[in-house]
Amino acid sequence: MQKPQKIFERVFLVGGPEITDGRDCCVYLVDGGNELALVDAGLGLSCRKIMENIRTLGMEPSLLKYVVATHGHIDHIGGLSYFQSKGVKIVSHELENRAVSEGRPELTAEWYYGIKYQPVSVDITLSGEMPNLSVGDVTLSCPLTPGHTPGGISPYLDIEGTRVLFGQDIHGPFNPSWGSDIGQWKISMKKLLDLKADILCEGHFGIYRPASQVQSYIEAYLSQY
C-alpha cells in the first residue's frame, strides 16, 4: 500500500485503491486551515485508516468538519455513517438524497459490492447548478454534473492560481438502474472542460496534470461514448 500524499497546497490523497482498500474510491482531503473536508468517504471499511492518514500528514482529525459526497454510490458514501458518528457534517446534492438518505439499493449500487449501505441524514443539502461550500478559509465550488448519476457534483477549488478539480467517476460506468444519462453526462463533461482545471483528482484513477492532460483525459472518454 502507498502512503497518503500531498497533491498540491491544501489538497491531499488520504484514501483509495492503493492507499486504503482496493474497493474504495479515491478519497481526497481539503485543508481549510481551521477546518478540513473530505471529498467522498470510500466504501466504509477504511474509515479509521483515513483518519490515521490525516494525522500522518500532520493534521488534526478533530478538525474534520465535512464529508462532501460527490454522488450516491456505496464506494463513495459507504463511510458516511462512520464520519457522521464522529460529528462530521454530511454534504450532498439534493438530487442524490434518494441514495444517500434513503439508501435505495438500486441507486447506491450496493449489490455490486455485496455490502449493505447504512443511510445517513444529510446535514447540508446542496441545490441548484453551482452551489458553494466554505471550508475554513477556502471555498469548494460544487457544480452539478449529472450523467453518471442524477445529482453528481464535481467540486473544485482555486489555490495559488491553480484550479484543482475533483472529477469523480468521469469514466462512468453507466447503468439505467441508478439513473445514468449519457446525454446529460456529455453536457457535464463539456462543463468540466470549460473549467480549464490545472489538476484533476479523479475518482478511481488518481491524479492528472497539467491542464493539457486533464483536457485529454476528459476528451478521451467523450470520444469513447
Q: How far apart are CA 80 and CA 21, in angstroms?
A: 16
What is the rounded average pLDDT of the residues 60-80? 98
At residue 177, the pLDDT reads 87
pLDDT in tens, 169-200: 899 899 998 999 999 999 999 999 999 999 99
Backbone angles phi, psi at 31, to 5 degrees: -100, 110
d(CA 205, CA 214): 12
Mean pLDDT computed over 34-43: 98
pLDDT tens column, 124-146 = 999 999 999 999 999 999 999 99
Q: Per-residue pLDDT for 221 more than 80?
A: yes
Q: What is the CATH number for 83?
A: 3.60.15.10
pLDDT for the residue 169: 86
Predicted local confidence at residue 168, as pLDDT: 81
The share of the chain scoring above pLDDT 70, in percent, equals: 100
pLDDT of 225 reads: 87
pLDDT for the residue 91 = 98
The answer, yes or no, to whether residue 113 has pLDDT greater than 90, is no
Q: Which domain holds residue 52?
A: 5-224
How many domains are there within the chain? 1
The answer to whether 209 and 200 are in contact (CB under 8 A) is: yes
Q: Mean pLDDT in the chain?
A: 96
CA dist., res. 44 & res. 99, Å (int) = 15
Query: Residue 61: its pLDDT value, please?
Result: 97
79-111 residue pLDDT tens? 999 999 999 999 999 999 999 999 999 999 998
Kindly state the cell numbers that stand for 66.
465535512
